Amino acid sequence: MTETSPMQKTNLLGFDKKTLQDYFVRIGEKPYRADQVLKWIHFNGMQDFADMTNLSKALRQKLSDMADITTPQVIYEKAAADGTYKWLLRLNDGNCIETVFIPEKTRGTLCISSQVGCILNCDFCSTGKQGFNRNLNTAEIISQLWIAVRKLSKMNGLHDHTITNVVMMGMGEPLLNLDNVIPALHIMLDDFAYGLSKRRVTVSTAGVIPAMQQLRAATDVALAVSLHAPNDELRNKIVPLNKKYPLKELMTACRDYFKNDTRRSITMEYVMLAGVNDAPKHAKELIKILEGIKVKVNLIPFNPFPHTEYQRSDASTIHHFCDILMKAGLNTTVRRTRGDDIDAACGQLVGQVKDRTRRHERYLQSTKKKVVGENA
């Protein structure tokens, strides 16, 4: 969100109210102009300062000379058979990110990215296979919502294409980019922008504990934790971040997150991997580690991608796992798989990417060594 050199214009798209107020003071204007411009940009979708009619002509000209409102380029958009929409956005530096809209009967959820790629290398996630490039800035994060609102409003059946929820579950680990994520969250919640409820904006994390504490101090949006395993040995393998922030510490952080609001719960995301984490013993371990934490468990059928060693648990296994959790009193749901035909489902956001981490190559080598050893 830093301002640019005198030769370049300042992109106001990523400025939350406080930053926008400071900007107007610096250019010799009243801070209340921030509310007006914020509403023009986000509520009205305006990019031309000349059309902001409640600003003086002199101010409109000043802003035109000094600033702009720019968004990434939409280079691909497609609807899945189930109504899911996907947009591929090209950033100014040529990198691409993806944004997905998931319509349901009672709500519409937009899944947005926070980074180009991801540094965490979770073993079951296709996004990690492109490696990590960089953090998105605030304008690039909020532009995904800005673009989706405009695109969906032009479609037939407007009531079916309204964004009621935003989840930061796209490419990247949001809590490793808090400097840009938090201002974007402020814009989402601002009544002069999108006016979303704090309960309808969710940030997902694999468990970056210090940043969880910072997020809680900055904004009280909903939290989802990508758990995926009920013990450290297994989680170390499929979520490597666990080696730095093990389950005992993570569960303590989760207990503390909403300790002052007992009405709110944390969503625990748990991808179902056949023969890996889906046995009844895993369900019982999960019940034990979640004791004393108000949670909703979201069981996610794994979405296979090229070269992965994992397979999706079958429906009967998933439902048995779900039954064990529910009988123990845990609020549990099974996520319906969406957007498979356009690579839009969770874990497929980068589609068929080059395996820059060479994980598949290492896996094949290890398998070959094992076979040779057995036949020796």
CATH 3.20.20.70 is right for the domain spanning 73-352 = yes
- Which two three-digit tokens encode residue 318? 């998933």
What's the burial of 259, exposed, middle or buried (CB within 10 Å: 0-12/13-18/19+)?
exposed
19-75 pLDDT, tens digit per residue, is 999 999 999 999 999 999 999 999 999 999 999 999 999 999 999 999 999 999 999
| pLDDT score of 117 | 87
Chain centroid, CA 255 distance in Å: 22
Tell me which of 111, 118, 254, 346 is the catalytic residue.
346
Per-residue pLDDT of 270-306, as tens digits, reads 999 999 999 999 999 999 999 999 999 999 999 887 7
Predicted local confidence at residue 353, as pLDDT = 37
pLDDT on residue 340: 63
Q: Where in the chain is the domain with CATH 3.20.20.70?
A: 73-352
State the pLDDT confidence band at 313, using cuts at 50, 70 and 90: very high
What pLDDT does 352 receive?
42
- 238-268 pLDDT, tens digit per residue, is 999 999 999 999 999 999 999 888 889 999 9
* Prediction pTM value: 0.88
Question: Which candidate in 29, 96, 98, 118 is catalytic?
Answer: 98
Nearest-angstrom CA–CA distance, 90 and 287: 43
pLDDT for residue 344: 52
Give the CATH fold of the 10-68 domain: DNA polymerase; domain 1 (1.10.150)
How far apart CA 101 and CA 354 sit, in angstroms, is 25
What per-residue confidence (pLDDT) applies to 355?
45
299: left (phi over 0), alpha (psi -120 to 50) or beta: beta
**Share above pLDDT 90 across residues of the chain, in percent, rounded to a whole number:** 72
Every domain of the chain with CATH number 1.10.150.530 lies at: 10-68
- Residue 173 bears catalytic tag: no
For the question of residue 118 being annotated catalytic, the response is no
